[in-house]
Amino acid sequence: MSGKVGAFVNGVLFGIFGIPAYIAPIVLVFVVLIYLANKNNMFAIRKCICASVLLVVVCSLIQMTNFDESYKITTYYTMSSTEKTGGGLIGGAMCSLLYELFGFGGGIVVLILMAIICGIIISEKTFMKAMTRALESITYKFQSRGAVAEVDEAEEEYQEEYPEDVADDYYDGYNDSEEDEEIKVAKPRKRRAKTFNIFKSFTEAKSEESNEEVSDNEVNNEDSNLEDNDLDEETNDYDDNYEVQDTMNEESEEFDDIAEQEMSHKFGSTSQEYDIRNLADRLISGNLDNIPEVDFDADNLTFEQLTTDDVFDAKSGKMHEVSPTTTSKAIITKDTLISPYETVVTHGQSHIGTGGNMVSGETVTQIIRPFDTTPKKTRRKYVRPPYKFLKPPFAADTKQAKEEQKETAKRLQETFDSFGVGAKLTNISAGPAVTRYEVQPNQGVKVSKITNLADDIKLNLAAADIRIEAPIPGKAAVGIEVPNKGENSTVMLRELIESKEFKTKKSDLAFAVGKDISGQVVIADIAKMPHLLIAGQTGAGKSVCINTLIMSLLYKASPDDVKLIMIDPKVVELSVYNGIPHLLVPVVTDPKKASGALNWALQEMTERYQKFAEAGVRDITSFNEKIESIPNPESLPPRYQKMPQIVIIIDELADLMMVAPGEVEDAICRLAQMARAAGLHLIIATQRPSVNVITGLIKANVPSRIAFSVASAIDSRTIIDGGGAEKLLGKGDMLFYPSGYPKPVRVQGAFISDKEVSDVVTYLKQFSAGYDDVVDKQITSAAVEKVEVQEKKATDKDEYFIEAGRFVIEKDKASIGMLQRVYKIGFNRAARIMDQLCEAGVVSGEDGTKPRNILMTHDQFNQYIEECL
- Range 840-864 average pLDDT: 86
Position 82 scores a pLDDT of 79
**Which pLDDT band, with edges at 50, 70 and 90, does 682 fall under?**
very high
User: pLDDT per residue over 169-178, tens digit each?
Assistant: 444 444 443 4
Position 81 scores a pLDDT of 79
Position 736 scores a pLDDT of 94
User: pLDDT per residue over 372-422, tens digit each?
Assistant: 334 444 557 888 899 999 998 877 667 778 888 888 899 999 999 888 888
Cβ neighbours of 601 (radius 10 Å): 24
Amino acid (one-letter) located at 762: T
- Range 523-539 average pLDDT: 91
Short-list 159, 164, 250, 142, CA closest to 199: 250
Give the span between the Cα atoms of 776 and 786, in whole angstroms.
Answer: 15
**Which pLDDT band, with edges at 50, 70 and 90, does 549 fall under?**
very high
How many percent of the chain have pLDDT more than 70? 68
Position 313 scores a pLDDT of 53
**Which pLDDT band, with edges at 50, 70 and 90, does 782 fall under?**
low
Position 181 scores a pLDDT of 40
198-202, 541-545, 580-584: least confident range = 198-202
86-95, 434-443, 576-585, 641-650: least confident range = 86-95
- CA–CA distance from 275 to each of 79, 217, 269, 595, 599 (Å)? 82, 15, 11, 68, 65
pLDDT of residue 563 exceeding 90: yes
Position 3 scores a pLDDT of 77
- CA–CA distance from 31 to each of 18, 50, 543 (Å)? 19, 10, 55
- Range 768-781 average pLDDT: 71
Q: How far apart are the first and last CA of the chain?
A: 115
**Which pLDDT band, with edges at 50, 70 and 90, does 15 fall under?**
confident
Cα pseudo-dihedral 264, 267, 268, 272, rounded to 10? -60
Structural domains of the chain, with CATH: 3-125 (no CATH), 200-366 (no CATH), 388-483 (3.30.980.40), 493-768 (3.40.50.300), 797-868 (1.10.10.10)
Position 127 scores a pLDDT of 62
Cβ neighbours of 437 (radius 10 Å): 23
Which residues, in sequence order, are CB contacts of 217 under 8 Å at separation 6+? 185, 186, 199, 202, 246, 247, 248, 252, 344
Beta strands in 252-340 (DSSP E): 309-313, 318-322
Q: In this structure, which long-range contacts are made by residues 518-521, counting pairs with CB atoms below 8 Å and at least 24 apart in sequence?
A: 518/429, 518/430, 518/431, 518/436, 519/429, 519/430, 519/431, 519/432, 521/496
Cβ neighbours of 250 (radius 10 Å): 9
**Which pLDDT band, with edges at 50, 70 and 90, does 706 fall under?**
very high
**Beta-strand relationship, 358-360 and 318-322:** unpaired
- Range 590-598 average pLDDT: 85
Amino acid (one-letter) located at 514: G
- CA–CA distance from 393 to each of 81, 112, 722 (Å)? 58, 53, 33
- What percent of the chain is helix, strand and coil (3-state, nearest 5)? 45, 15, 40
Position 496 scores a pLDDT of 93
Q: Answer whether 421's CB lies under 8 Å from 441's CB.
A: yes
Give the span between the Cα atoms of 713 and 709, in whole angstroms.
Answer: 10
Burial category of 201 from C-beta neighbours within 10 Å (exposed 0-12, middle 13-18, buried 19 and up):
buried
Task: Please give the angle made by the CA atoms of 675, 679 and 681, to the nearest 5 degrees.
Answer: 65
pLDDT of residue 525 exceeding 50: yes
Q: Answer whether 689's CB lies under 8 Å from 712's CB.
A: no
**Which pLDDT band, with edges at 50, 70 and 90, does 128 fall under?**
low
Which residues, in sequence order, are CB contacts of 468 under 8 Å at separation 6+? 450, 451, 454, 478, 479, 480, 481
Position 514 scores a pLDDT of 93
Give the span between the Cα atoms of 781 and 765, in whole angstroms.
Answer: 27
SS3 267: helix
- Range 792-810 average pLDDT: 82
- Range 590-601 average pLDDT: 86
- Range 661-675 average pLDDT: 87
Peptide bond into 370 cis (omega under 30): no
- Computed from CA positions of residues 724, 727, 730, 733, in that sequence, does the dihedral angle turn out positive or negative? negative
Short-list 507, 482, 392, 400, CA closest to 746: 482
- CA–CA distance from 109 to each of 67, 91, 98, 230 (Å)? 15, 15, 10, 62
Position 183 scores a pLDDT of 38
Q: Answer whether 761's CB lies under 8 Å from 577's CB.
A: yes
* pTM of the complete model beyond 0.75: no
**Which pLDDT band, with edges at 50, 70 and 90, does 44 fall under?**
confident
Position 129 scores a pLDDT of 67
What's the distance, CA 286 to chain centroid? 63
Mind spelling out the 3-state secondary structure of 724-750?
Answer: CHHHCCCCCEEEEECCCCCCCEEEEEC
Position 130 scores a pLDDT of 64
pLDDT of residue 851 exceeding 60: yes
Position 117 scores a pLDDT of 85
pLDDT of residue 776 exceeding 50: yes
User: pLDDT per residue over 297-340, tens digit each?
Assistant: 444 444 444 444 454 454 455 555 555 444 444 343 434 333 33
Position 236 scores a pLDDT of 40
Give the span between the Cα atoms of 553 and 497, in whole angstroms.
Answer: 10
Give the span between the Cα atoms of 210 and 564, in whole angstroms.
Answer: 60
Position 151 scores a pLDDT of 63
Higher pLDDT pick, 661 / 306:
661
Position 389 scores a pLDDT of 92
Position 608 scores a pLDDT of 92
User: pLDDT per residue over 711-767, tens digit each?
Assistant: 888 999 999 988 889 988 888 999 999 988 888 999 999 999 999 999 999 999 888
- On average, the pLDDT of the chain sits at 74
pLDDT of residue 212 exceeding 70: no
- Range 441-457 average pLDDT: 89
Element (H, E) at 646: strand 645-650
Q: Answer whether 531's CB lies under 8 Å from 669's CB.
A: no
pLDDT of residue 444 exceeding 80: yes
3-17, 338-352, 512-526, 833-847: least confident range = 338-352
pLDDT of residue 7 exceeding 50: yes
**Which pLDDT band, with edges at 50, 70 and 90, does 487 fall under?**
low
Give the span between the Cα atoms of 412 and 405, in whole angstroms.
Answer: 10
Give the span between the Cα atoms of 194 and 469, in whole angstroms.
Answer: 94
Position 337 scores a pLDDT of 36
Cβ neighbours of 281 (radius 10 Å): 11
Short-list 538, 566, 467, CA closest to 689: 538
Short-list 683, 642, 651, 382, CA closest to 524: 683
**Which pLDDT band, with edges at 50, 70 and 90, does 550 fall under?**
very high
- CA–CA distance from 489 to each of 515, 520, 732 (Å)? 11, 14, 11
- CA–CA distance from 64 to each of 83, 95, 106, 661, 671 (Å)? 16, 7, 12, 93, 81
How many percent of the chain have pLDDT more than 90? 20
